[in-house]
Amino acid sequence: MKLTTLLILFFTVNTYATGYGQEKINLRVKKTEISDVLRSIEKQTSYRFLYNDKLEDIREKVSINVKDADITDVLNLLLDDTRLLYQLMNDNLIVIKEDPNAPPRLPDVPIRGKVTGEGNAPLAGASVQVKNTTIGTTTDNSGNFSLTVPDANVTLVISSIGYEDQEIPLGGRTEITVALVVSVKLQDAVVVIGYGTASKRDLTGSIAKVDGKEVADKPNTNPLSSLQSKVAGLSVVNNAVPGSQPDIRIRGTVSMGSVSPLYVVDGIFTDNIDYLNPNDIESIEILKDPSSLAIFGVKGASGVIAISTKKAKSGQVNITLSSNYGTKTLVDKIQLANGDDFRTIFAMEAANGLNDPDPTIGNKNTDFLNNEMHLWTGNTDWIDEVTRTASFTNTNLSVGAATEKNKFTLGLGYTLDQGLVKHVDYKRFTLSFSDEFKLASFLKVGVNFIGSNEKLPYGGSGQLYDARKTLPIIEAGTKPFYLRDPYQTVFDSANYNLYSGTPVIQNTEHNPMLVIENNWNKVINDRLRGVGNVFAEFTFLKNFNFKATIYKDLAFVDNRTYTPVYYAYNPAASNPANQAYLYNPLSSVNTKESSQNVTQQDYILNYKRTFGDHAVAATLGTTWYEIKYMDNSSLSKQRDGDQPIPDDERFWYASNGFATPSNPTSSQWEYATVSFLGRLLYNYKSKYFLTGSYRKDYASNINDVYEKKAQNFWAVGAAWELTREGFMSNQKLFDFLKLKASIGVLGNFNTGTIGGYYPFYPGVNATQATFGVNTVSVFENKYLPDPNLKWETVHAKEIGVEFNMFRNRFHGEINYYDKRTKDLLALLKPVGVLPTLTNSGEISNKGFEFTAGWDQNINKDLRISLTGNLTTYSNEVISLNYEIPADPQYANQTEAGKPISYFYGYVVEGLYQSYADILASPVVAISGPPVQPGDFKYKDIGGPNKTGPDGVIDENDQTMIGNPTPDFSYGLGLSIKYKKFDFALDLGGVYGNEIYRYWSTSEQKNSVYNYPKYFLDAWNGPGTSNWVPIVDAQHLTNRVPSTFGIEDGSFVRIRNIGVGYNFSVEKAKIKNGRVYLNVQNLKTWKNNLGYSPEYGGSATSFGIDAGSAESALPRVITVGFSVTF
């Protein structure tokens, strides 16, 4: 408070004592000189003013608007910010004079200047203030300002959100240029918190913010893939198939159902962000703790990833063009037998089979060796055959402009992402538009829209999985055959280049190239998505703000697959004239159209006010959500003897005139939720912080009694900023230190997929029965409803500390999280009973998160920042009313007392070297033929009733042999800026988890598959091996999951390494330019045989290496540029 005001108050009290103030004054003036105002008061009332006409301040222009006001109030307003005082005398006489204690008035100095921000772009809306005064202004759209200061030696304070404040002593200058530096103080960042934004400083939880720039120039179609190893608590397992989503979990595996986080894109809830172009993203916030998540209620338990798309910055007209191109190559290929290896190992297997109690299979294999093997002359690496050097490209054009009233953006983008498997091409076109218009000072309206058209790739990625199985003795290339045209339309006969079929020993599999080359260009899989909203925002009663938003999210998929008639050849055909044969003799068209229609409405009332030392921000609202899905599919298949459906896109429809559509089916579901929410953020002196949030969610699909449809979620949090305490002012260690804690109950909207999302109703399947020639519609029960079903809840706690040290150069954050999932929702599939969704059991997830960063401007040319994060995980299923048994092929099992989805199986101690060895060892009672030398010797661990070794190897000897959840994951980032160059390096990894390799261990083979290379070292007589067992598919005891399939999942990876050069060209009007080179996945240090060490999956089955394309992570080398005009 200023001195003048105090004096005025003093006089005011006096005047009341003398009976002033009976006369009421009405005044409404704009930019009028004080002397004129005084004259107008004299006209209205009996007051008279006495003053010296030479007083400078009496010429000041003021604006006043009062009604029925007392004279003192009017004068207080009128003379505020001047050096004038008033004195009330008798007879309504008022004397106005200069304050003798006021500083002497200096001549005013007009100054001008320009403020620039990041990349030297003009910064609009920056505040320019004379230090320790209220004199100030803001910059205009070009970053310019002009200001009249009392003295050319004052100091200006320039500030803008997201930038470091800067103090500029004028030192006599009247024109200045100021370049602001981006703030590195994380606590100053403004973060999205769900139904609003807040300064990170005011919060009590853990929200990590990632700038859109981090994802924009990376060669990933899904922006979250670029966040691997970057954020503590966020685990990302990549999926190498274009158009697929990575497996994302926040702070562990909290459920047996849905574990992926909720995505909130500019306010709308979604579970799929494939439609987003990474270039359109302004920022990504990862919300992890209860106090941040409770406002999301039943959808908050798995964490929230809030994405804000780019909006125009005021005062700028920017046109940005960016483009990059990358090449993708397969690294870390899995090692399989080549043709000669295969012949050797197969001969071993055939010979081994002849020693079996029943040599039937061995005889057949020997027959093949003797009679047919020589006809299969290939030496093919099928992985090489199906893969390629693929490319990635992403090009974007965006326009943003803003005036005081209107801000708008336009964006266009094109992405091509090729898979490593041939012909697997993903394309995406995006367009975005946003506009925000200020209709009046109290009313703002806006619209946002993002549209995307994705060309989803041909599903050929599965052929990489199949290539692992395909025998290398099959010739890779094609052979010409003179054949009848299967369509008999163009030619009667012609030369055709045919791929080979598979030999009889592999009759359940196929030649992957035969399938790819005949099918890849016969698929249409278009996904259209439009996500948009319109909103209106009102400001009223000074502290209130009300925002109503209506969102729409529409998705359509048109999926049509044509299967042509095509030939293959069989090199071993008994009659060489019959070598070529119709591999696929009937053409068909499969169609499926689906649509999804989401409507969301948010009505949010905000209240924000500061009362002295108390600051309050309150939010109250309701949100309505409705989702409707439906699809239709059909099959039109050529009848034998009919003309094939021609290979022409014109006919790729259900009713194509050639075949009759049959088997039309549809599926459809809808559900709706209504939620009421409230939140209070409070702080006292910005020192003590309290937050509370509450949400009540009603869902249409949880119960058929209205009152029971609702469930409550809440959280409270507290924080203490110690560095604002007096007792901390003398310490130099911490520049900032904040302790925080929060607790709450969050929900998981996890319905499984039974019952059309209404697990409460006893669902049935409509089906048919046949009686002779008659068909009758009938039904079967589908699942059991559980009348007491409710949403599972996560009871979460967090405690943490954030601090800055070394002149804010070092930032650190440590959090401890503890999440207990209760009323676990699980789809029980008890054997012999219909499936039922029920609440059963508890899961615990605990761990620490460490984040640290050092950021320093060494000198004006060099800036270095180093960041690191580490997250520990501890997962345990506390209780489960039943056990999810291990699949006999996949080792994952979930039971109480163990980590979720842990690996279960036998412990291999070595191989039986001889019959004497077998006799001297515990009896093997695992189902299958009697063990023979060369078979696994499993460890005798337990007997019935969990007693110790009992001399028998049976299921009681299975135990925990691994855990797919790591002990910890970590990331390290280094960024150096030197003059116009920048360099960035990101490392990441996990430690302490296991992988279960399924291929060539417990995989059930339906015919002979190719062998892994290491089978060359298989047991082949006493002493030849004590690890790789005898090659013989008949030895079933070797196929049970065991430690033979367990591999160390720890790895370190150079995730990204990149250099860039930044420039600007005045002549070409390029404000900002950048060219860069980036390498993703340069090198991975791993300990397993698979393509990569990363294997995602579902909550109860992950960490399995099935040798599929998802894990074949490419190295991507990208070059790119971006220019802003």
Partner 1 sequence: MKYMKKNIIFCVAICGIAIIALTGCKKFLDRKPLTSTLDDYAQGGLEPQALGLYGALRNSAGDPYIGDGFQSIPWIGINGFRSDDQEIVSDPGAAQWHATYDNFNYTKDDWASGVYWDKHYLLIGNCNTILQIADSLGLTDPSSEVNIAEAKWFRALSYWDLVRNYGEIPKIDFRIYKASDANIPKSNEAAILALIESDLQYATTHLPLNWPAKFAGRLTSGAAKALLAKVYVWQKKWAPALALCEEVINSNEYALIKPYWSIWKTQNELSKESVFEIQAAYAPGDGGQLWSWFGTAQGVRGNGADGWDLGWGWNTPTANLVNAYEAGDPRKAATILFSGQPDDAANGGYGKTLPPYTNALYWNKKVYTSDAERAASGDLHGAYFMNCRLIRYADVILTAAEAANETNQGTKAETYLEMIRERARDGNNTILPKVVFANQAQMRTAIKAERRVEFGCEFERFWDLVRWGDAQSVLGGLGYQPKHHWYPLPSGAISSNPNLVQNPDYP
Of 1019-1038, binders to partner 1 (CB under 8 A) are 1033-1034, 1036
Tokens of 996: 């279960």
Q: Binding to partner 1 by residue 701, rule CB under 8 A?
A: yes
Q: Which of 442, 981, 1063, 1085 binds partner 1 (CB under 8 A)?
A: 442
Shortest distance, CB of residue 635 to partner 1, whole angstroms?
8
Does 782 engage in binding with partner 1 (CB under 8 A)?
A: yes
Q: Which is nearer to partner 1, 425 or 475 (CB)?
A: 475
The stretch near partner 1 (CB under 8 A) out of 738-746, 922-930, 976-984, 1091-1099 is 922-930
CB of 445 to partner 1, least distance (A): 15
Instruction: For the segment 932-971, give every residue that binds partner 1 (CB under 8 A).
Output: 944, 952, 954-955
Find out whether 803 and 794 touch, Cβ atoms under 8 Å. no
Residue 365 in the binding site for partner 1 (CB under 8 A): yes
The Cα 845–Cα 817 span in angstroms is: 8
Instruction: Say if residues 45 and 91 touch (Cβ distance below 8 Å).
Output: no
Closest CB to partner 1 among residues 65, 389: 65
Contact 1102, 235 (CB under 8 A): no
Q: Is 850 in the site for partner 1 (CB under 8 A)?
A: no
Shortest separation between residue 705's beta carbon and partner 1, angstroms: 11
Check binding of 364 to partner 1 (CB under 8 A): yes
Show the tokens assigned to 374. 């020589």
Nearer to partner 1, 224 or 880 (CB): 880
Considering only residues 445-474, where is the footprint of partner 1 by CB under 8 A? none
For partner 1, the closer CB: 634 or 691: 634
C-alpha to C-alpha distance for 1036 and 1015, rounded to whole angstroms: 17
Per-residue mark of binding to partner 1, 523-552 (x: CB under 8 A): ---------------x-xx--x-x-x----
Answer for which of 119, 657, 664, 1023 binds partner 1 (CB under 8 A) is: 664
- Provide, rounded to whole angstroms, the least separation between the CB of residue 562 and partner 1: 17
* Alpha helix segments (H runs only) across 470-590: 512-519
Given the rule CB under 8 A, which of 239-247, 490-498, 851-859, 927-935 is the region that contacts partner 1? 927-935
**Which tokens sit at 26?**
């009405």
71-79 and 34-44 helices, crossing angle to 10°: 170
Task: Please identify, using beta-carbon distances, which residue of 94 and 926 lies nearer to partner 1.
Answer: 926
Check binding of 507 to partner 1 (CB under 8 A). Answer: yes
Site for partner 1 in 1034-1093 (CB under 8 A): 1034, 1036, 1039
> How many Cα neighbours within 13 Å face the side chain of 918?
14
Question: How many whole angstroms separate alpha carbon 1102 and alpha carbon 901?
Answer: 7
Q: Is 657 in the site for partner 1 (CB under 8 A)?
A: no
Residues 1096 and 260 sit within 8 Å (Cβ to Cβ): no
Q: Which two tokens stand for residue 852?
A: 């640290």
Q: SS3 of 28, please? A: strand
Q: Which is nearer to partner 1, 132 or 575 (CB)?
A: 575
**Beta strand segments in 117-154, E:** 127-130, 136-138, 144-149
CB 227 within 8 A of CB 1069: no
CB nearer to partner 1: give 516 or 580.
580
| Residue 284 and residue 306 in contact, taking contact as beta carbons nearer than 8 Å | yes
Does 624 interact with partner 1 (rule: CB under 8 A)?
yes
| CB 582 within 8 Å of CB 567 | yes
Residues that bind partner 1 (rule: CB under 8 A) add up to a total of 123
Considering only 110, 762, 897, 1021, the residue that binds partner 1 (CB under 8 A) is: 762
Single out the segment in contact with partner 1 by CB under 8 A; choices: 95-103, 247-255, 463-471, 752-760.
752-760
Q: Is the Cα dihedral 310, 312, 316, 320 positive or negative?
A: positive
Among 60, 670, 855, 1048, binds partner 1 (CB under 8 A): 670
Q: State in angstroms the smallest separation of the CB of 504 from partner 1.
A: 6
Least separation in angstroms between residue 1005's CB and partner 1 is: 6
Cα Rg for the chain, rounded, in angstroms?
37
Q: What is the SS3 assignment for 692?
A: strand
Supply the minimum distance, in Å, between the C-beta of residue 447 and partner 1. 21
User: What's 355's DSSP letter?
Assistant: T
Which of residues 495, 521, 610, 1004 is near partner 1 by CB under 8 A? 1004
Q: Say how far apart CA 601 and CA 536 lie, in whole Å.
A: 12
Cα separation, 266 vs 268, in Å, equals 6
When binding is defined by CB under 8 A, the residue of 33, 164, 367, 517 that contacts partner 1 is 367
Q: Does 651 bind partner 1 (CB under 8 A)?
A: no
User: Least separation, in Å, of the C-beta of 156 and partner 1?
Assistant: 35
10 Å CB burial of residue 854 (0-12, 13-18, 19+) is middle
Among 45, 155, 597, 660, binds partner 1 (CB under 8 A): 660
Q: Taking the CA of residue 520 as centre, how many other CA atoms within 13 Å lie in the half-sphere pointing to its CB?
A: 18
Residue 84 as a binder of partner 1 (CB under 8 A): the answer is no
CB of 322 to partner 1, least distance (A): 42
The torsion region of residue 58 among left (phi > 0), alpha (psi -120 to 50) and beta comes to alpha
CB of residue 1102 to partner 1, shortest distance in Å: 20
Check residue 605 for interaction with partner 1 (CB under 8 A).
yes
- CB of 1082: closest distance to partner 1 in angstroms? 41
Based on the shown chain and the rule CB under 8 A, indicate whether residue 768 belongs to the binding site for partner 1: yes
Q: Which is nearer to partner 1, 394 or 840 (CB)?
A: 840
Tell me which stretch binds partner 1 (CB under 8 A): 39-47, 137-145, 518-526, 637-645.
Answer: 637-645
- Number of residues assigned to the chain: 1125
**Degrees, nearest 5: CA angle 41-44-46:** 85
CB of 773 to partner 1, least distance (A): 8
Within 13 A of 296's CA, how many CA atoms are on the CB side?
Answer: 32
Distance, CA of 26 to CA of 21 (rounded, Å)? 13
Question: Binding to partner 1 by residue 761, rule CB under 8 A?
Answer: yes
| Interface pick for partner 1 out of 90, 134, 730, 777 (rule CB under 8 A) | 777
Q: Which of 487, 607, 676, 810 binds partner 1 (CB under 8 A)?
A: 676
- Burial (0-12, 13-18, 19+ Cβ within 10 Å), 839: middle
Task: Please tell me whether residue 1005 binds partner 1 under the rule CB under 8 A.
Answer: yes
Burial 233-259 (b: 16+ CB within 10 A, else e): bbbbbbbbbbbbbbbbbbbbbbbbbbb
Q: How far apart are CA 279 and CA 411, in angstroms?
A: 9
Residues 824-843 that bind partner 1 (CB under 8 A): 828-836, 838
H-only helix segments in 251-398: 290-293, 339-354, 360-371, 382-386
The residue (of 63 and 101) whose beta carbon lies closer to partner 1 is: 63
Q: How many CA atoms lie within 13 A of 454 on its CB side?
A: 23
Question: Which of these ranges, 11-19, 360-368, 993-1001, 1083-1091, lies near partner 1 under the rule CB under 8 A?
Answer: 360-368
Query: Please, which of residues 567-586 interact with partner 1 by CB under 8 A?
Result: 568, 570, 573-574, 578-583, 585-586
Token output for 854: 């050092």
When asked if residue 775 is in the footprint of partner 1 (CB under 8 A), the reply is: yes
**Residues 54-83 contacting partner 1, CB under 8 A:** 67
108 or 955: whose CB is closer to partner 1? 955
Q: Which of 566, 560, 498 is nearest to 526 (CA)?
A: 560
Q: Which of 785, 973, 1096 lies closest to 226 in space, CA to CA?
A: 973
Among 46, 508, 521, 731, binds partner 1 (CB under 8 A): 508
Site for partner 1 in 237-266 (CB under 8 A): none
